[in-house]
Structure 1
Amino acid sequence: MERAMRHFTLDEKLAQSGNRPTGFDYMRIGLSLAVVAMHSVITSHGVAAEIPLWTSPLRPYMRAILPMFFALSGFLVAGSLLRTPALSQFLGLRAIRVYPALVVEVFLSALVLGPLLTTLPLTAYFSDPVFRLYLLNVTGHIHFLLPGLFHDNPFPDTVNAQLWTVPYELICYIGLSALTLVGLRKRPWIAPAAVVAFSLVYLAARLIRHHGELPFILGGIPGSVLVISFLAGVSIFFYRDRLPWSLPLCVLSGVATALLLSVVPFGDYVVAPVAAYFTVALGVTNPRKLRFLQGADYSYGIYLYGFVIQQTLMAIFPWARIWWLNILLSVPAAALFAACSWHWVEKPALELRRYLVPRGKGAKTLQPEHSEAKPILQPVEPAVLPGRQTL
C-alpha cells in the first residue's frame, strides 16, 4: 500500500520498465485509431454532420488527440536528440523515419489509386496541374486534391486531409534544431522558456488577427498549439528526473486537460503543458505488450493510409456511408496497409541508421547539466502525427 501511494519521478517510473515502457506504444496505436474513428463521421456524412460533435460531450476527447500526439513526439524525439552526437545525424534520423513511407503513400495515391478511380480520361488526369501539385506532398508541401477523385463523396474531393499536420511536425524538428544550436543540450531551461515564448506569440497573433478578441474555437486544435505541445513534451523529457509521477497526478492532469479543451474559456492557450504531462504520465506506464505489436510500430501507417482508405471505401461502397460501418471497414484495411508499410518500407528504411550513426558513436547520451538520469527509450523513432486541419 505504501509503495502504491509513493510519488515517483517520471524517470524512476521509466526505470521500473527498464527504460522501455509499453505505454507509449499503446498510446500511438490508440491515438491513430482514434483519428480514424473521428474521421468516420465526416467521411460518411460530410462536414455538416461533424460540426455538432465539436460542442458535444466528445469535444474534449476529440480535441486532445493531436496535442497528445505532438507531446508524445516531443518527449521521445528529445531522447533521440540527446543520444545523437551531431545535429546533422539527428535530422537524418528524422528524415528516414518520416519520408520513405510518406513518399510511398503519396505515389500509391497518385499513380495507382488516382488512375483507378478518377472520373477523367487518363491523359487529362496526368496532365492536370493538380496532379503535379499533389506530388509535392513528398516534400512536406501539402496538397489534398487529385483530379477527378471523390467528387461525389460526402466529404468531396479531398484525398489525404490528415496530411495537414506534416508541415507542423517539420516545424517542430526545425525549431528543436534551432534550440539545440543555442545550447538546449546543456541548458534545458531553454525548452520551457520556448514553450512560454511561443504561447505568448500565439496569443498575441490571435489578438491581433481578431482585433483584440479571442474567439471561441469551434473545431479542432490549431497547428500552433501542436507545436507548443511538442515543445512541452521536450521540456518534460529534460526535467523528467524532477517531475513527479503518481496515479492521482495522472488522473488529475487528464481531467484538467479535458476541462481546458472543453469548458474553460481560452483553455487552448494554456493546455499544452498539462496535456503533455498527462501524455507522458500515461506513456511511462508498462502494461503487457500484445504479441502482434512486439517489434513494430503501425501508428504511422495508420496515420498515412487511414483517411484515403475511408474516402475510397465511401466512394466504392455508398451503402457503407454510416459512421460505425465506416470504422468496421476502414480500421482493418488501414491496419493491413500499416503493417505492409512497416515491414516493407519503414523498418528497412530505419536500417539506414547504421550509416548515419555508426555503432558506438551514438551510444553515449548527452545529459543536461542538472540530470543524472540514465539514457531512456533506446529504440525511439516516433511516428508523424495524424489529424485534420482546423483553423
Structure 2
Amino acid sequence: MRRFDRGPTPIGWRPPSLWSPLVTTNHRGNAFDLLRLVAALLVVVGHSWVMTGHEDPLTFLSGTNAGDLGVGVFFLLSGFLVSGSWLADPSLKRFAARRALRIYPAYALVVAALALVLGPLVTRLSVGAYYASGGTWKFLAGNLAIIPVQFTLPGVFEGNPYPNAVDGSLWTIRVEVLCYVGVAVLGLAGLLRRRWALAAVAALLYVVALIVEATGYHGVLLPGALDYQAAVPIAYFGVGMAYREFVGANPPPWWTLALGAVAWAALWFTPAAPVGALVFVAALTFTIAFRAPTALHHPTGGYDLSYGTYLLAFPVQQLLHGLPSVINALLTAVIVLALAALSWRFVEQPALRHKPSRPRLATAQR
C-alpha cells in the first residue's frame, strides 16, 4: 500500500472503525448494515496484500487502496449517523454514554485479549519476560486510554512482513472518538442544523485532506492526538454530516456517480488520489444505502458484525501472514466473522441494552 512507504507510522491506511462501524441503530429504510460489513471486508482485503509483503492491486491502478475506501465508508456513515443521533437527543451526557457503550466494551476486550492472551502465546520472549516488559503494560494502558494508541507488543510479530503493529486498526478509534467530540462541539454551538455551517466545515476538512495528501505532509494535525493520516477519514466524516443535513435519507442524483468517477480518475496516479475518491465513494455509498433492495439491508440478520470484524481482522491476518494474499483475506474473513458474531452476541449487544434513552415529556397534570 502506498501509505506504508511514508515513514515509521505504524499503520498506513485510514478507517474503524468505525462504522461507521461504531454506531448502531434500527436501519429499516437503508442498507447501512450491508455497507458497514462490506467496508470491514474491504479493509481485510487491503491489509491482506501489505501484510503478506505485496502491494494492493488497486493502489497500482488508481493510487488509492481497498483499505482507504473501506475506512472512508465507515467514517462517511458515522458522520451521517452520529450527527443525527445528537440532533435526535441533544444531551451531552446521554450522547457520550451512547457512543461509549457502542465502541468501548468490544474495543477494551480486544485490547486486553491481545496483551494478555495473544501476546504471551506468540511472543519470541519467555512468558515471564513478556509480562515483565514495560512494553506489555504500555500497550494495555495506552490503548485502554485510546489516546495515545500503542501498536507493538514485546517480541510479537517481529519477523512478519509488517512487523510494527499487532493491531493496526486501533488507531482509527481515537479518530472516531475525536469526531464525536467535534459533533458535540458543533451541537452545543447550535451549528448542526445550520446547513451552510456544515457545508463550510465539510469543505474545510476536504481542503485540509487535499493539502495533506498532495504535499505528502507527515506532521501532526492536532498535537498528541491526530497525525496526517486522520485528515482523509475526518473529511469523510464531515461530508457525511453535510449529506444528512442537505439530502437526508434520500439517494443522491445518478449524475453524482459520474461526476465523482471523473473527479477520482482525474487524480489517479497522483498523491491526492485518496481525496479524489471521496466524492465517488460518497455518491456510491448513499446510492446503495437508499436504493438497495430491502432484502439486502440486513445481510447478517440481527447481528452487526462490522465492528468486531474490523477490530479483530488485523491480528488474525498477522497470524496468517505466510499464506498468499487472497487466501489470507478469505480465511481471515471466515475466522473473524465467527468471532465478530460472538462479540456482538456477548459483548456489544448486551452493552447497548444500557444505552440511555431520551426522557419522555412529562404528562401534563389534569
Shared fold (TM-score greater than 0.5)?
Answer: yes
Q: Which of 179, 182, 190 is the matching residue for 1:183? A: 190
Q: Which of 301, 308, 323 is the matching residue for 2:315? A: 308
| 1:283 maps to 2:285 | no
1:259 matched residue in structure 2: 265
- The number of aligned residues is 324
Matches of 1:128 and 1:360 in 2, distance apart? 52
2:96 matched residue in structure 1: 91
AA matched with 1:360: R
| Mapping of residues 123-134 of structure 1, within 5 Å | 123-134=128-139
Shift of 1:171: 1.8
Shift of 1:277: 3.5
1:350 matched residue in structure 2: 352
1:331 matched residue in structure 2: 333
Q: Which of 24, 29, 37 is the matching residue for 1:29? A: 37
1:383 matched residue in structure 2: none
| 1:169 maps to 2:171 | no
Matches of 2:124 and 2:71 in 1, distance apart? 34
Matches of 1:205 and 1:64 in 2, distance apart? 17
Equivalent pair of 1:119/1:149 in contact (CA under 8 Å): yes
1:110 matched residue in structure 2: 115
AA matched with 2:265: L
Flag the 1:271–1:192 CA change in 2: closer, same or farther, 3 A: farther
Equivalent pair of 2:32/2:289 in contact (CA under 8 Å): yes
Matches of 1:209 and 1:307 in 2, distance apart? 26
Equivalent pair of 2:64/2:273 in contact (CA under 8 Å): no
Equivalent pair of 1:70/1:226 in contact (CA under 8 Å): yes
Equivalent pair of 1:179/1:190 in contact (CA under 8 Å): no
For residues 10-66 of structure 1, give each alpha carbon's deviation from its aligned partner in whole angstroms, at most 9, with x where no partner exists.
xxxxxxxx972342111111111111111111222x2xx227752235846554322
Matches of 1:103 and 1:96 in 2, distance apart? 11
| 1:193 maps to 2:195 | no
Equivalent pair of 1:257/1:275 in contact (CA under 8 Å): no
Matches of 2:319 and 2:275 in 1, distance apart? 36
2:22 matched residue in structure 1: none
1:70 matched residue in structure 2: 75
Flag the 1:292–1:232 CA change in 2: closer, same or farther, 3 A: closer
Flag the 1:35–1:261 CA change in 2: closer, same or farther, 3 A: farther
AA matched with 2:82: V
Q: Which of 212, 235, 238 is the matching residue for 1:231? A: 238
Matches of 2:154 and 2:281 in 1, distance apart? 39
2:60 matched residue in structure 1: 55
AA matched with 1:38: G
Identity of aligned residues (%): 33
Shift of 1:204: 6.0
Matches of 1:100 and 1:268 in 2, distance apart? 31
1:340 matched residue in structure 2: 342
Equivalent pair of 1:21/1:286 in contact (CA under 8 Å): no
Matches of 1:62 and 1:244 in 2, distance apart? 24
Shift of 1:150: 1.2
Matches of 1:335 and 1:209 in 2, distance apart? 35
3-state SS in 1 of match to 2:55: helix
Shift of 1:119: 1.5
Flag the 1:337–1:94 CA change in 2: closer, same or farther, 3 A: same
What is the Cα-based RMSD across aligned positions, in Å?
3.0
Matches of 2:335 and 2:215 in 1, distance apart? 44
Q: Which of 37, 42, 67 is the matching residue for 2:50? A: 42
Normalising by structure 2, report the TM-score. Answer: 0.79
AA matched with 1:251: L
Listed as ranges, the gaps of 5+ residues in structure 1 are 1-17, 211-220, 362-391
Deviates more, 1:303-312 or 1:282-291: 282-291
Matches of 2:210 and 2:47 in 1, distance apart? 29
Matches of 1:56 and 1:271 in 2, distance apart? 13
Matches of 1:197 and 1:232 in 2, distance apart? 10
Flag the 1:238–1:25 CA change in 2: closer, same or farther, 3 A: same
Equivalent pair of 1:60/1:259 in contact (CA under 8 Å): no
Shift of 1:85: 3.4
Flag the 1:267–1:116 CA change in 2: closer, same or farther, 3 A: closer
Deviates more, 1:236-245 or 1:30-39: 236-245
Shift of 1:199: 3.5
AA matched with 1:225: V
Flag the 1:328–1:126 CA change in 2: closer, same or farther, 3 A: same
Shift of 1:237: 0.3
Equivalent pair of 1:229/1:273 in contact (CA under 8 Å): no
Deviates more, 1:75-84 or 1:60-69: 60-69
